[in-house]
Structures are given as C-alpha cells and as structure tokens.
C-alpha cells in the first residue's frame, strides 16, 4: 500500500513505523507525511527523506493525498477530525492508533494524557492500545488489533502512558502487516 501518515505531535509512532518499514516488517511504503501544525514529529520524515508537509486546510489535504496516489492513511497522533470527504473517499483504508482498550476511554476528550489520567484515577489494572478503522464517528470504527498491558504497579499516569506507548509502537506496524495479509 502507498501510505500517508498524519501526525500532530512528537511522532514516536511515526518513527516506529519508519523503522519497521526499513526493517522490512511490512511491504507498504510510507510516501507522505502530513502534520496539521508544525509538529516536532516532522523531523522523523525529514531524517528519513520522506516528503513531509504542514497542511492546515482540509481541501489541500485531499489534493496532496491524490498528488501522491495515497491509497492508505495512518493517523498517528493526529488530533484534527478527518474531513468526511476524506473518510468517505478512503472507506476502510484509514486506521488510527488510540492509547486505550477501546471502546473504554475513547471518544470526545479522550486523547493523550487525558486517557491515562482517567485510567489511573479509576484504578484500572489493565490498559493497552487499539488500532481501529476510522469512520465519521470518533474512535468508533472496527478494531484491527488491540493489545493489553498490566498497569497494576503503575504509580502515575505518566508511567501508564510510557507502558502504553511501547505497545502502540508494536501494534501499529503489526496492524499494517495484518491488513496487507488480509488484502492478498
Ligand atoms: C499516542 O499516544 C497515540 O496513541 C495518540 O497520540 C499519541 C501520539 O504520540 N493518538 P506520538 O506523536 O506518536 O509520539
């Protein structure tokens, strides 16, 4: 697949994907990186020689995806809502990585540290990460992969974040591999 990765933040998931591609862990190619702001994660695209752009205007987003003949989109910490036109043009070809065991701790307001703070406050023993298809509802599409981690010993939401991030970096590339195998 010809992949675009969309980011808004530090891009550790993007970096993990680039490294996995370079190790041949999946066949697809990351051809384009787009951020909705001047995200720190853009450095990973620069270092990997992958065309990267800051695009704030939704119309320009679809144009850029078409310019690069993108046929699969990965949201890796992308905080903006994907325009319906793009979701509808890329039905079942957009995935998102979410730092909880969806459907728990998903939906409005549940992103980044807010997720881990709620999990910690509720004294959950387990957390984890979920890769799901993107539809026009927040954190709602079919689950591609989900992996749990025991957080019973975590002493802060930050410890949970770090434990979950490690899972994210593994299951995002595994999800791409799984989708490639399903599309054979
Ligand atoms: C991750 O926690 C991811 O689950 C969420 O946003 C964060 C992105 O982190 N969607 P990074 O930018 O990949 O480091």
156 vs 121: CA distance, rounded Å:
9
Q: Which helix (H) or strand (E) segment is 157 a member of?
A: helix 157-182
Longest dimension (CA), the chain: 48
pLDDT at position 183:
86
| Tens digit of pLDDT at every position of the chain (184 positions) | 999 999 999 999 999 999 999 999 999 999 999 999 999 999 999 999 999 999 999 999 999 999 999 999 999 999 999 999 999 999 999 999 999 999 999 999 999 999 999 999 999 999 999 999 999 999 999 999 999 999 999 999 999 999 999 999 999 999 999 999 998 7
Q: Which helix (H) or strand (E) segment is 113 a member of?
A: helix 113-121
Torsion of CA 15, 19, 25, 28, to 10 degrees: 60
Residue (of 33, 32, 29) closest to 42 by Cα position: 33
Q: Has 98 been annotated as catalytic?
A: yes
Q: How many C-beta atoms lie closer than 10 Å to residue 137's C-beta?
A: 10
pLDDT at position 184:
75
Protein residue with least CA distance to atom 8, ligand 1: 77
Q: What is the CATH number of domain 2-182?
A: 3.40.50.170
List the catalytic residue out of 98, 116, 132, 169.
98
| Annotated domain spans of the chain | 2-182
pLDDT at position 105:
98
Asked if 83 contacts 62 with a C-beta cutoff of 8 angstroms, the reply is yes
For a substitution probing ligand 1, which of 77, 105, 164 has the most ligand atoms within 8 Å of its CB?
A: 77
Asked if 97 contacts 131 with a C-beta cutoff of 8 angstroms, the reply is yes
75 vs 109: CA distance, rounded Å:
17
């Amino acid at each position: 697949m010809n992949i675009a990765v969309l980011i808004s933040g530090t891009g550790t998931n993007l970096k993990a994907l680039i490294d996995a591609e370079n190790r041949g862990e999946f066949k697809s190619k990351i051809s384009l990186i787009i951020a909705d702001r001047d995200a720190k994660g853009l450095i990973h695209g620069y270092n990997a020689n992958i065309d990267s752009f800051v695009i704030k205007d939704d119309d320009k987003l679809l144009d850029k995806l078409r310019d690069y003949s993108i046929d699969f989109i990965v949201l890796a910490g992308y905080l903006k809502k994907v325009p319906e036109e793009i979701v509808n043009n890329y039905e079942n070809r957009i995935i998102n990585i979410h730092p909880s065991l969806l459907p728990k701790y998903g939906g409005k307001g549940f992103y980044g540290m807010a997720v881990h703070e709620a999990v910690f406050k509720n004294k959950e023993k387990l957390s984890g990460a979920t890769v799901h298809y993107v539809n026009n509802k927040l954190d709602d599409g079919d689950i591609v992969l989900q992996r749990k981690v025991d957080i019973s010993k975590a002493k802060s939401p930050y410890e949970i974040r770090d434990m979950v991030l490690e899972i994210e970096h593994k299951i995002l590339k595994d999800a791409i591999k799984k989708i490639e195998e399903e599309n054979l």
